[in-house]
């Protein structure tokens, strides 16, 4: 498959829609074909028929294409796709030596926190969970702990905290640490952490990159493909076999072609939902960086590319029972985990996390989709009545 586009400075929306300008060289098809073979025959002299096709655990056409499209979108030198976001996070964490030190942002995606706690205990790695969105706290922790790795998530899930990537990168680098940014909630459309100094950007591509809640995938990208950390991740992915299959890669590429368009609509919808909730008498607080009263609003405006994402939380006045009642009355917002899909979802995170991270009992998390805004606001209005 070849990129026949000579114009190099295209917008991300053009690149994504055109899947980097790919054309199937066999047929001229404007959609890439699925190569389903896991193994490839050799010639009689034992040379490969095609030097890019040996065994599909090493690599495959669609894996490469998906990685190239996303790497370009992140202004990265290289990118790697994994079978899930957690597989990508695990690949990063495995680069930290036994008895090393990791700083991880507190109150982020619960699956990350849970797995990292287990992993660090097993490998005798010192784990410091701190609020990285507070730069004083972050700088003191980096100075005191001299970590190997700093892992932040911005905007964070489900608190929507915004962390200053540029400052976090310079603080980390001054102490010899690598900075990894989980940018899932922003997507490559709204934020490009590598351009702000991060060493690695991570995405659960299961979310908005795919956008249709039908593929699990993870993605990592770097600005320095020769760095030790990237070489180690890339060797581990290759040899330990955490690759995405061709069918999933094909679906992912199909999904990401509309990512910029979907993000535009999701951001606009989320902004209107946030404004509606912000003025509602039964709502205590809205956590969404798009509203001016949010503590991270100014920073998000500066470091995000003209939108605040589709993830939003709010605290309803009342307790867990009140919050669960609101969730139960919603009809358009489906009661399901995950985020970034075309369909709107609602989740009561306290029912999932319990008291492990301090998520309030009255917090309701929304993933705002691309439905008509009147229906979304109408659904919330009925549920809060």
Catalytic residues: 57, 109, 182, 207
What CA–CA distance (Å, rounded) separates 220 from 199? 10
Judged by the rule CB under 6 A, the positions of this chain that interact with ligand PLP are 84-86, 109, 111-112, 153, 157, 182, 184-185, 204, 206, 216, 218, 338
What CA–CA distance (Å, rounded) separates 240 from 152? 26
Q: Six-digit token pair at 280?
A: 């509602």
Residue 67 or 153 with smaller CB distance to ligand PLP = 153
Q: Which residue is nearest to ligand PLP (CB)?
A: 85
Q: What is the DSSP letter of 36?
A: -
Shortest Cβ 216–ligand PLP spacing (Å)? 5
Residue tagged 């700093």 (tokens): 150
Q: Which residues pair with 311 in a beta bridge?
A: 367
| Contact criterion met (CB below 8 Å) for 219 and 80 | yes
Q: Six-digit token pair at 347?
A: 């989740």
Closest CA to 153 of 144, 162, 141: 162
Residue 114 or 123 with smaller CB distance to ligand PLP = 114
What CA–CA distance (Å, rounded) separates 132 from 155? 12
Closest CA to 270 of 194, 345, 335: 345
What CA–CA distance (Å, rounded) separates 142 from 148? 10
**Alpha helix (H) ranges present in the chain?**
12-17, 61-73, 85-93, 110-122, 135-145, 165-174, 187-190, 228-240, 246-256, 259-278, 297-303, 320-329, 349-353, 373-384
Q: Which residues pair with 119 in a beta bridge?
A: none
Residue tagged 């930290």 (tokens): 96
What is the three-class DSSP state of 286?
strand
| Contact criterion met (CB below 8 Å) for 190 and 311 | no
| Contact criterion met (CB below 8 Å) for 351 and 327 | no
Shortest Cβ 72–ligand PLP spacing (Å)? 21
**Alpha helix (H) ranges present in 279-309?**
297-303
Residue 1 or 69 with smaller CB distance to ligand PLP = 69
């Amino acid at each position: 498959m070849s990129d026949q586009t000579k114009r190099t400075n295209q917008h991300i929306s053009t690149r994504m829609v055109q899947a980097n300008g790919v054309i199937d060289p066999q047929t001229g098809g404007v959609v890439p074909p699925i190569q389903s073979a896991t193994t490839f025959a050799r010639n009689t002299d034992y040379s490969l028929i095609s030097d890019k096709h040996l065994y599909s655990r090493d690599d495959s056409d669609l894996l490469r294409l998906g990685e190239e499209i996303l790497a370009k979108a992140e202004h990265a030198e290289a990118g790697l796709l994994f079978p899930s976001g957690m597989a990508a996070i695990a690949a990063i964490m495995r680069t930290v030596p036994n008895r090393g030190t990791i700083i991880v942002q507190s109150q982020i995606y619960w699956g990350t926190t849970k797995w990292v706690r287990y992993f660090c205990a097993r490998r005798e790695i010192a784990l410091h969970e701190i609020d990285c969105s507070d730069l004083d706290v972050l700088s003191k922790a980096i100075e005191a702990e001299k970590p190997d790795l700093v892992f932040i998530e911005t905007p964070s899930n489900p608190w929507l905290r915004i962390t200053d990537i540029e400052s976090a990168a310079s603080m980390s680098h001054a102490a010899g640490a690598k900075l990894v940014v989980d940018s899932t909630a922003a997507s490559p459309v709204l934020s490009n952490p590598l351009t702000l100094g991060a060493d690695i950007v991570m995405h659960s591509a299961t979310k908005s990159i795919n956008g249709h809640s039908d593929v699990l995938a993870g993605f990592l990208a770097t600005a320095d493909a020769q760095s030790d950390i990237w070489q180690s991740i890339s060797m581990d992915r290759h040899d330990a076999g955490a690759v995405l299959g061709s069918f999933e890669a094909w679906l992912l590429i199909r999904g990401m072609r509309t990512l910029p368009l979907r993000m535009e609509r999701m951001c606009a919808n989320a902004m209107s939902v946030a404004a509606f909730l912000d003025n509602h008498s039964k709502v205590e607080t809205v956590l969404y960086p798009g509203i001016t009263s949010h503590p991270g609003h100014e920073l998000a405006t500066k470091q995000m590319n003209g939108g605040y994402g589709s993830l939003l939380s709010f605290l309803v006045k009342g307790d867990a029972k009140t919050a669960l009642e609101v969730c139960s009355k919603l009809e358009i917002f489906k009661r399901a985990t995950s985020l970034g899909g075309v369909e709107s979802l609602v989740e009561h995170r306290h029912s999932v996390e319990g008291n492990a991270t301090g998520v309030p009992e009255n917090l309701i998390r929304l993933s705002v989709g691309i439905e008509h805004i009147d229906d979304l606001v109408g659904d919330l209005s009925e549920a809060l009545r």
